[in-house]
Structure 1
């Protein structure tokens, strides 16, 4: 591949915990790659003294000009909870995530979709089902989104069990805010395709369109959430990147694999296939 073709390809970034930054610092800075920090979804860290972790991130990222984000909290709750007491906890966690973003200069926070397989199969059982689901999310996040707008952080809603890829897009659009957009996890989409009758991954990209500002790149088998290195599963990567090439939103392309020691291997698969750099 010539240099001109290479530089026109999208740039890969990665997700990793702070402890891995020293390992990948040169790769991140040499390519000025986007980065997602994966420490701050843990409630015990958010409730404790996370400032030393933030300081280490600042130390490791001197010279880094790629876009920085975090994976927000998600364990043990849904942003669409019906319980008003739980809703207060969820809102607290999201605000804690924004505290971190302000501290480290992150401009994006990943949050998990509230939609389940149960929702998809039962949406026709009750008039206004989705409207009520949207209202619950707004009750949880309206104040969070208002703060995100003030501090310049975009919340990106990631598919988890989502069968219909349009629901998250409609949910994000319902906030009428530039600070709420869509994320796609390729492995989650492929699981939903293989196990619950959802469309293939490239359809998720097309459904999101220019609302898509973040993507987790991981390979899977259509049965479980594998977070494998690309090439180990059955995702059709050329179709995914063709769909991405039609967008103008410049989504962050974040390699998110279980074995962080293999990030460069995952990147090499996509670069050698001529899909990214």
Structure 2
């Protein structure tokens, strides 16, 4: 258990950490994946970020970060939407400068139902956004990870990942999202996108909604997931997106599955 605690992140919004939850992470020796969404970026600033970074560093803990994604569109053809997306990412970079995470996860954000009819344009437009962000994060010691959400198969992410590989951008494979939204199974994702894999997001569901249940409390066949992952080198980091309350059950399940 203690070894896994050193090697696994647990998600928490920054405003929850600032409201007192950080003390639990420190007491339990948990590395947080800090969610920096609109509320977190607008209501908190350098002083609070600096205080949290110091508290984690003093305990030998290092965060990862999950960047904003709701209603953002890095490949939008609308200049106003693109400017809003860019501004949120600028705020993200400012926070990363202080928090010093090892990696930053963002949603690629491609949805076939919305963007499929201008897919090539959307991809090229988004690459401009991601190249800028990847360089900014790399200069601050963090690696950009692009996460699957509504993408139906690895082929909808691989063009971007391949174009950005020279900047160290990797795939954050979200197993819960894969179970909900992907027509391709985990074996296909690992086979086709395995070389890009840099991070895992682990949580469970019953295939109907994005419940973010503790591992083993839904319908995802996690033994099969890890049988496929066992053939890969260890990812940069693994995040249990189950919140601190779901962490004990997830750690207990993960101890039986961890292949590395």
Say yes or no: TM over 0.5. yes
Q: Say yes or no: does 1:167 pair with 2:164.
A: no
Task: For residues 212-260 of structure 1, give each alpha carbon's deviation from its aligned partner in whole angstroms, at most 9, with x where no partner exists.
Answer: 1111110011121110111121111112112222222523110102x53
Contact 1:13-1:28 within 8 A present in 2 as well: no
Does the alignment pair 1:88 with 2:83?
yes
User: Does 2:202 match 1:201?
Assistant: no
Partners of 2:215 and 2:234 in 1: CA distance:
23
- CA distance in 2 between counterparts of 1:248 and 1:85 reads 41
Tell whether the 8 Å contact from 2:9 to 2:64 is kept in structure 1 after alignment.
no
Aligned residues: 254
**Greater fraction helix:** 2
User: Is residue 150 of structure 1 aligned with residue 139 of structure 2?
Assistant: yes
1:159-238 to structure 2, matched below 5 A, reads 159-193=148-182, 198-238=183-223
Length-normalised TM-score, structure 1 = 0.81
Deviations, residues 25-78 of structure 1 (Å, cap 9, x unaligned):
24436xxxx53112x112x43234422431342243134445521110112222
Runs of 5+ unmatched residues, structure 2: none
Change (3 A) 1:176 1:184: closer
- Equivalent in the alignment of 1:28: 29
Structure 1 gap ranges (5+)? none
Q: Give the Cα–Cα distance (whole angstroms) in 1 for the partners of residues 99 and 42 of structure 2.
A: 17
Q: Secondary structure at the match of 2:207?
A: coil
Q: Do 2:204 and 2:220's aligned partners in 1 also have CA atoms closer than 8 Å?
A: yes
Partner in structure 2 of residue 99 of structure 1: 94
Deviates more, 1:176-185 or 1:59-68: 59-68
Secondary structure of 1:191 counterpart:
helix
Query: Structure 1's 146 and 62: CA in aligned 2 closer, same or farther, altered over 3 A?
Result: closer
State the TM-score, normalized to the length of structure 2: 0.85
1:275 alignment counterpart: 258
